[in-house]
Structure formats: structure tokens, C-alpha cells
Amino acid sequence: MVFVRRSLWLFFGVVLSVSVVAIPLGCGGDGGPSPPPLTLTLHDASGRTVTEINEETLPTLFAKITGLPPNKPFELMLYRDGQPLYRDAQGNLQPITATSDEKGEIPAVVLFYDLGVDPQTGFPTPASGSYSVRIWGSGVDRLISFTVRSRSRRQQIPGHPPTIWIVRANGAIAGGSIPEGEPVYAAGINFPPNRKVRLYVVSDKRGWNAGIVPTDLVDVTGAIEEVTTNSSGEITRTLVWASAQPLNGQRDFDLVANVADENGNFDTKYTPGIDAVDADLTTGFTVQLPPQPIIRVYLASDKQGNYRDFFSPDETVTIWVNPPNRPLIPFMMVKKYICPHKETWNYGDQLVDVTGRPEWDLVRYACLNQYLYTVWAPPLTPGVYDPVIDVNQNSVFDQGDILGKPFEVRGVKPKRIFVSARFPFIDPNGETPVTAILIGENDRPMTGQTVQFSVADSGASVNPTSAQTNQQGVASTTLRVGSTGGITVRVRATAKVEGVTVTGEAEVQVRAYGGINAIVRSKR
């Protein structure tokens, strides 16, 4: 098995600056509308937009791309000094493939993990130079450039928050994964010099630096380590967990450094810009077992990273891999498949992707937040499917591949229907518009469904007796009542979708002769 070339993974002490200019490749032409502006911005694992990075911080870098045609596949190739870098298991050039969402965006595709770390050893490796990302497909062919420059190590980095990361027992960078039972160490830079810091291992969360999650710090290891940074603001290698273990089935964790104030006092909350977390958009680290035989794990997720067993045809499927065992080789390409469901998979079974092509992606031991971009764009075809990670990229299911738990695509079942009459009181022989809104089990209006209207009173009628719901999930009819006054007429709306029937009613009262209708008429 061939690893991605070492020249991709850059040496400590490098500054990365980004040119935001998108340079079109190929022929131009006159006439026709201009394509939407294509932009690429870089983000680190904490979610911050970056234009300059000190490589000493070991960042994982995501590219956010906008201005693409929606729901289309694209290839991305990273170049260094003009030479393409991504390769498959056989050593052949192989771009990353990703699908834009309905807004024409790829919200976050990883260009590289742990910049400056050799993926095979976890230790530094040199490689500075001129870099560019080529984006190709669906009429787009653009080149985005950035530069990686050398910079001396172990300096305070002005304007950059403190940085913390996980280290293994041998001093290597963990790369997002700690084997179960191994000790966990922490190291960091750019903290205030000679300052007290408490180190927490906490359950994995998203949004630390955006302030969108509770920030109270609760350590899962049973002990909070307190250290003092050196005169350069470094945290030297410190043991924070004697033996990494899953807790209540949870294997994903974050490392947080809580910095004391100048008087040495601590709070118990995470403060962006002062405290540090090893990851935000990504998982800090996953506690993993050795490789195992076939075992189904959760892979299919929605755009928020929630694992799902069911999708409606108008939803988007993504894949997020944080497997409990350790089948992946860090920083190599894998293929992500959505296959027709099989109760039993055997080694040697052919992998056939139902979306039109498998996705090529760059991974660590744990794939982290790959749910951030689309794998299957709507409309989805109803059926039951198995997501599969083809680790050795041979288009065959074999030992070492990751088999996902099945998910179903089906039409949304109705949950309830609400009926409303515009005029709840009408005169004999009068009429009123009646509407019904159909709500699905996903609590969204259901479009294009048939609603049947009926009325029990023999002197009343509805026209039409059936109607299709519009884009707001609304179907309409008109109720006309008979000559009998002083009664209540009930209008019923019924919808049957995916074998489930829902019914709703609205009451319309017919005024009695000589009652309020007479008063109303007298004032006309």
C-alpha cells in the first residue's frame, strides 16, 4: 500500500499566505453571462478564517469554495511547485472529489491534516514552496494559489491564539487517533509565558470558538492536570490520561487548555482567544481499537453531522467516519461509496455506487468532519443503501474496508393535517374558502400530495373534492352550505401518503334565520 508522498506534509516553521484571486484555466470567450465569482477561503480546525499560518501550530486546513454550480461533482488537486501531490494506493495521481451543495458551495474540504507532520511517523518533515489548488468539473476550471514560507520556531506568534494538541507516548503527533489503552499527552505553544494552565479532556463538541455550545469544562479522566508554561509560552509534553478508554460508548474527545488570569485564578469555562482547544470543526481525537473483521458502523449523516437511518428524497447525504476501530492509514486517499443494501457482504463483492461515482477523499485514522460536504445530492432515489469506505481503493469489498449501517430513502410519511375555514360563520346558502396544510414526519410542509375534502351535512358541498398541495404544503377547496340555518358543518381533509393516513377537520357555523344574519343584513 502506497502512502501520499511525504513532500505534501510540510515542515515545522512555515508561514502560509493565501492569494484569494481565482485564475481561470483554458480558453476564454466573449458573449454570454459571466459565471458566478468563484472564491476559496482557508479555515483551520478551530473554524477561523486564515490568511497566514505558522506551521508550528500543526493546523488542519479546510478550503471553503463558493460560486460553483449547485449539486455537481468537482475534482480538487493540490500542487506544490507545480507538481500534483494527491495519489491513490497504487501511486497514481488521484484528485479529491467533492459535490457542491444546493447553494453551489463546498463548505469544507480538507486540503491537508496536521500541516508539518509526516503522516507515517508523526514527526516533522520539510517541504516549503508555492502551492495551488485546482478545481475542475461542470464547466469550472480554476487555480487558486498560496505560498508556504519558512519561519523560525518557538516564537510567540503575534495575534495568534494559544494552540494545544495531542501527543502519543513516543512523542509523535496523534493525528486524530489514540489506540485504546494508550496514554494521552498534551503539548502546546503561544500561551502567556510562565502562566498556570489546566488541561481538560472533555467530550467532543462543535462550536467552541463560535460560542454555540455550552462551555462549562467537565473532565472525563477523573483528574485535571495543572501545569505552568515556560518562558516561551510552551506547554511541554504532559500526561493527561493514563489509559484512553471509551466512556459510555463515547470515543470522541477534545483537549482543552484553560488559562489562569494574571493572578493565577481559574474559571471553569472555555473562553475563545484565551483558552485553547485542539479541534473545533474536527474531533480532537478518537479512541480506537485495532482493526477488526466486518463490523457495521455509523457512516451516513446529514449536513449537521447527525447520523441518520432515514432520509427523504429532498435531503442531502454526507459521510462522517470516526470508526471505533483503526482500519485507516493516515493521510491516504479512500473511496466513499453509496451501494445498494445487502444483508451480508462477502470479501470480493463488487462495489457499485448509486450516485453516479464514488467520492475520493483524504483521511486520517479517523476521517473527522467529512460530513461538511455532500456525498449524495437530492433528489435521492428511494431504497435501502449501505455506505462503504473502500480503504485500498480497489472497487471491491475486502478486509480493511469500512461497512456502514444501512439507511433508507423513502417518501416522507405524513404526521398531521390542519384544516382552516376563512369564514367560520356564514349565512345559509353561503360559501367560504377552506385550506388544509399537510405536515410530514420531518415537521416540514409536504408538497405535491393529494388531499381529499368531504363534508357530512347533506345540504353542503365542497369543490373541488380533491386538490394537490402547493410548495407551502397547502391544498384548497370551497365549502358551500345549504339553506338550513343554525347548524354546524364539519369539513374533513384526508391525505394518504406512504401507507399512512392523516385526517383533520374544521367547523363552520351556519347562522340561523332571524339571528345575527338579520342584524348584518339590516345594516347593508
CATH at 491: 2.60.40.10
Euclidean distance between CA atoms 114 and 144, whole angstroms: 21
Q: State whether 202 and 256 are in the same domain.
A: yes
Q: State whether 330 and 198 are in the same domain.
A: no
Place of cell 377552506: 434
Q: What is the pLDDT of residues 154-206, one digit of tens each?
A: 556 666 788 898 998 888 888 788 888 999 999 998 899 999 999 999 998 87
Q: How confident is the model at residue 55 (pLDDT cuts 50, 70, 90)?
A: low
Q: How confident is the model at residue 230 (pLDDT cuts 50, 70, 90)?
A: very high
From 101, 126, 150, the end of a domain falls on: 150
From 343, 374, 409, the end of a domain falls on: 409
Output the pLDDT for position 212.
66
User: Which amino acid, one-letter code, is at 410?
Assistant: R
| CB-based contacts of 479, cutoff 8 Å, min separation 6 | 421, 431, 432, 433, 434, 455, 460, 461, 462, 489, 491, 508
Euclidean distance between CA atoms 247 and 211, whole angstroms: 25
Q: State whether 237 and 283 are in the same domain.
A: yes
On the CB side of 366, CA atoms within 13 Å amount to 27
Q: Is residue 479 part of a domain?
A: yes
119 pLDDT above the threshold of 90:
no
Q: State whether 375 and 361 are in the same domain.
A: yes
Output the pLDDT for position 51.
67
84 pLDDT above the threshold of 50:
yes
Q: Is residue 155 part of a domain?
A: no
- What separation in angstroms does the CA of 46 have from each of 12, 64, 91, 130, 209? 19, 14, 32, 24, 7
Q: State whether 323 and 264 are in the same domain.
A: no
Closest CA to 177 of 327, 386, 9, 2: 327
317-323 average pLDDT score: 77
Output the pLDDT for position 323.
60
Q: How confident is the model at residue 490 (pLDDT cuts 50, 70, 90)?
A: very high
294 pLDDT above the threshold of 80:
no
CB 169 within 8 A of CB 183: yes
Note the pTM of the prediction, 2 decimals: 0.64
467 pLDDT above the threshold of 80:
yes
- Which helix (H) or strand (E) segment is 520 a member of? helix 516-522
Closest CA to 316 of 110, 137, 499, 98: 98
Q: State whether 228 and 349 are in the same domain.
A: no
The better pLDDT of the pair 27, 474 is held by 474
Query: What is the residue-averaged pLDDT of the chain?
Result: 82
Output the pLDDT for position 6.
30
What share of the chain in percent tops pLDDT 70?
A: 79
Output the pLDDT for position 456.
83
Q: State whether 62 and 137 are in the same domain.
A: yes
Q: Is residue 156 part of a domain?
A: no
Output the pLDDT for position 414.
93
295 pLDDT above the threshold of 50:
yes
Q: Is residue 487 part of a domain?
A: yes
243 pLDDT above the threshold of 90:
yes
Q: Is residue 129 part of a domain?
A: yes
Looking at 151-160, 191-200, 292-301, 418-427, which range is the least confident one? 151-160
Q: How confident is the model at residue 430 (pLDDT cuts 50, 70, 90)?
A: very high
Query: Cβ of 83: how many Cβ atoms within 10 Å?
Result: 12
Q: State whether 386 and 424 are in the same domain.
A: no
- What separation in angstroms does the CA of 514 have from each of 57, 460, 485? 85, 21, 10
Output the pLDDT for position 441.
87
57 pLDDT above the threshold of 70:
no
CB 367 within 8 A of CB 390: no
From 366, 382, 409, the end of a domain falls on: 409
Place of cell 473483521: 293
E-only strand ranges, 400-486: 402-404, 407-409, 414-421, 425-426, 431-440, 450-455, 461-463, 466-468, 474-480
Q: How many domains does the chain have?
A: 4
Output the pLDDT for position 11.
30
Q: State whether 70 and 99 are in the same domain.
A: yes
Grid coordinates of 208: 467552541
| CB-based contacts of 502, cutoff 8 Å, min separation 6 | 414, 415, 416, 417, 438, 494, 495
Question: Helices in 274-388 by DSSP H: which ranges?
Answer: none
Output the pLDDT for position 34.
58
Output the pLDDT for position 21.
38
Output the pLDDT for position 328.
52
Query: Cβ of 41: how many Cβ atoms within 10 Å?
Result: 15
Grid coordinates of 497: 401518503
CB 178 within 8 A of CB 166: yes
Output the pLDDT for position 207.
77
Output the pLDDT for position 126.
65
Q: How confident is the model at residue 228 (pLDDT cuts 50, 70, 90)?
A: very high
Work out the burial of residue 352: count CB atoms within 10 Å of its CB; fewer than 13 is exposed, 13-18 middle, 19 or more buried: exposed
- What separation in angstroms does the CA of 285 have from each of 63, 80, 147, 168? 21, 28, 29, 11
502-511 average pLDDT score: 95
Euclidean distance between CA atoms 270 and 217, whole angstroms: 7
User: Which amino acid, one-letter code, is at 128?
Assistant: S
25 pLDDT above the threshold of 60:
no
Euclidean distance between CA atoms 239 and 219, whole angstroms: 14
Q: Is residue 428 part of a domain?
A: yes
Q: State whether 226 and 339 are in the same domain.
A: no
Strand partners, 362: 333
Q: State whether 272 and 342 are in the same domain.
A: no
Question: Helices in 231-389 by DSSP H: which ranges?
Answer: none
CB 422 within 8 A of CB 433: yes
Euclidean distance between CA atoms 147 and 134, whole angstroms: 15
Closest CA to 301 of 404, 378, 227: 404
Range of the domain at 128: 6-150
Q: What is the pLDDT of residues 266-285, one digit of tens each?
A: 998 998 889 999 887 778 88
Q: How confident is the model at residue 372 (pLDDT cuts 50, 70, 90)?
A: low
56 by DSSP, 3-state: which?
helix
The CATH number for 239's domain is 2.60.40
Q: How confident is the model at residue 524 (pLDDT cuts 50, 70, 90)?
A: very low
Query: Cβ of 353: how many Cβ atoms within 10 Å?
Result: 20
Euclidean distance between CA atoms 449 and 496, whole angstroms: 8
Q: State whether 325 and 382 are in the same domain.
A: yes
Q: What DSSP state is assigned to residue 151?
A: -
Q: What is the pLDDT of residues 327-369, one digit of tens each?
A: 555 556 788 899 999 999 999 999 999 998 898 887 765 554 4
Largest Cα–Cα distance in the chain?
96
Q: Is residue 247 part of a domain?
A: yes
| CB-based contacts of 214, cutoff 8 Å, min separation 6 | none
Q: Is residue 206 part of a domain?
A: yes
Place of cell 489506540: 179
